[in-house]
Amino acid sequence: MEKRGFYLYKLIALILLVLGILFPLLVSDQYVIRIINMTFIYIILSMSLNLITGVTGQFHLGHAAFYGVGAYIAALLSVKLHVSFLFAFIAGGIGAGFIGLLIGLPTIRLRDIYLTVTTLGFGEIVRLILLNWVSVTRGPMGIPGIPYPEFFGIKIMSQIDFYYLIFFVLILSVVVLFRITYSRYGDILRAIRENELAAKTLGINTTIYKVTAFVIGALFAGLAGALFAYFSAYISPDSFTFAESINILAMVVIGGLGSMPGAILGAVILALAPEAFRFLAEYRMVVVGLLMLGVILWRHSGLIGEQTAIKFMNMKIGGK
């Protein structure tokens, strides 16, 4: 019996959800599960940057700064103030979102290379603060001994425990960012990206929309950072460098700017590729650069471009 209006992407999403739930039951290798956990965190980061750079068109080279802010807020609250995981986790996201607001407001009128250089400088400023504010961040020594997350009497300790925690946050992130990206709000962001002046003439307050997108992207990056802090149990400024920002940007570009499925695919490829090519570890950034160049030359819109994703989501199984 045909089911009218049943979209193909919903079927695929359901299959992936079931596979995600069953994955730890099918794979016993703890190292593999750890790699998948980090892949999930990178997917959240990639999707959050896609909202800022891909959908809104604000070229951002300091996304690792929001990632680091979320990680350090969660770690400091847990280690020094001994607050609960849930509170520290949410605080990491809100803190990063607040920093996004502070940065977004004065820079939102900048365009092209000026915005790029400003966000690059912001990323470096945050890294230097983390590196030199020794009395708070412990500087290059980092923050060790981040406790295992615990809520509702359940302590998350094993790789499988972390898998389900991160997977749950990933699903929530996908749902929220998907609804934002492919809603009327997302359409307005794309209109601003294509022609901001035309959007203004239609009565759209472009400043509010751009700043809001910046804050939402920063918030989800902060949540990813909080997850990373608890997952790794140790953080240092070395994890939030300019190279990490480039790595996250590469995920979005390779997958397809403005495309949620593309951002997910790009994150999966670049998160798993280093493990597949460990013998090229010294040339990681070279490989990433060549991969970006190849995708741009072969498919300038990315592996799953924005228009491809939109057309795919409009496909139906049976009926019209």
CATH number assigned to the domain comprising residue 117: 1.10.3470
Q: Which single residue is written with the structure tokens 């425990």?
A: 161
Q: Does residue 154 lie within any of the structural domains?
A: yes
Three-state SS at 236: coil
| CA distance linking residue 130 with residue 119, whole number of Å | 17
Q: Please report which confidence band the pLDDT of residue 199 belongs to, taking 50, 70 and 90 as the band edges.
A: confident
Predicted TM-score (pTM) of this structure: 0.90
138 domain residue, yes or no: yes
What does the pLDDT read at residue 157? Answer: 86
């397809």: which residue's tokens? 256
Q: Mean pLDDT across the chain, nearest whole number?
A: 86
Residue with tokens 């079931």: 18
CA angle 24-29-35, nearest 5°? 80
Q: pLDDT per residue over 248-257, tens digit each?
A: 998 998 888 8
Q: Quote the pLDDT of residue 317.
A: 42
pLDDT beyond 80 at 310 = no
Residue whose tokens read 């945050």 = 126
The number of C-alpha atoms within 13 Å of 307 and in the hemisphere containing its C-beta is: 3
The reported pLDDT for the residue numbered 296 is: 72
- Percent of the chain scoring above 70 in pLDDT: 89
Of 3-17, 106-120, 224-238, the range with the lowest mean pLDDT is 3-17
Task: State mean pLDDT over 270-280.
Answer: 75
Q: How many domains does the chain have?
A: 1
% of the chain residues with pLDDT over 90: 48
* Residue, of 50 and 305, whose pLDDT is higher: 50
User: Which pLDDT score, from 0 to 100, does residue 280 have?
Assistant: 64
Q: Could you tell me the pLDDT band of residue 92, with boundaries at 50, 70 and 90?
A: very high
Q: Does 119 fall in a domain?
A: yes
Q: Is residue 1 part of a domain?
A: no
Beta bridge partners of 155: 150
For residue 92, the surrounding DSSP H or E stretch is: helix 85-107
Across the range 89-112, mean pLDDT stands at: 87
Cα 7-9-13 angle, rounded to 5 deg: 120
Residue 151, strand partner residues: 154
Q: How many helices (H) and strands (E) does the chain have?
A: 14, 2
Q: What is the mean predicted confidence (pLDDT) over 283-296?
A: 72
Residue 141 lies in a domain: yes
- pLDDT for residue 297 is more than 80: no
Assigned domain for 319 exists: no
**Residue entry with tokens 């190292």:** 31
Q: Which of the four pLDDT bands, split at 50, 70 and 90, describes residue 281?
A: low
Domain that holds residue 74: 8-313
Confidence of residue 9 (pLDDT cuts 50, 70, 90): low
pLDDT at 169: 95
Residues 212 and 59: beta-carbon distance below 8 Å: no
Do the beta carbons of residue 163 and residue 23 sit within 8 Å?
yes
pLDDT score, position 36: 94
Q: Under 8 Å CB-to-CB from 173, ≥6 apart: which residues?
A: 43, 44, 47, 48, 220, 223
Q: Compute CA 281 distance to the chain's CA centroid, rounded to the nearest angstrom.
A: 23
Q: Which two three-digit tokens encode residue 130?
A: 């983390």
Q: Does the residue 59 lie in any domain?
A: yes
Q: What integer is the mean pLDDT of 261-286?
A: 79
At residue 49, the pLDDT reads 95
Does 8 have pLDDT greater than 70? no
Query: Residue 2 above 60 pLDDT?
Result: no
Tell me whether residue 208 is in a domain.
yes
pLDDT tens track for 141-165: 999 999 999 877 788 888 999 999 9
Decide if 230 contacts 74 (C-beta within 8 A).
yes
Write b or e for each residue in 40-63: b if 16 or more Cβ atoms lie within 10 A of its Cβ, otherwise e.
bbbbbbbbbbbbbbbbbbbbbbbb
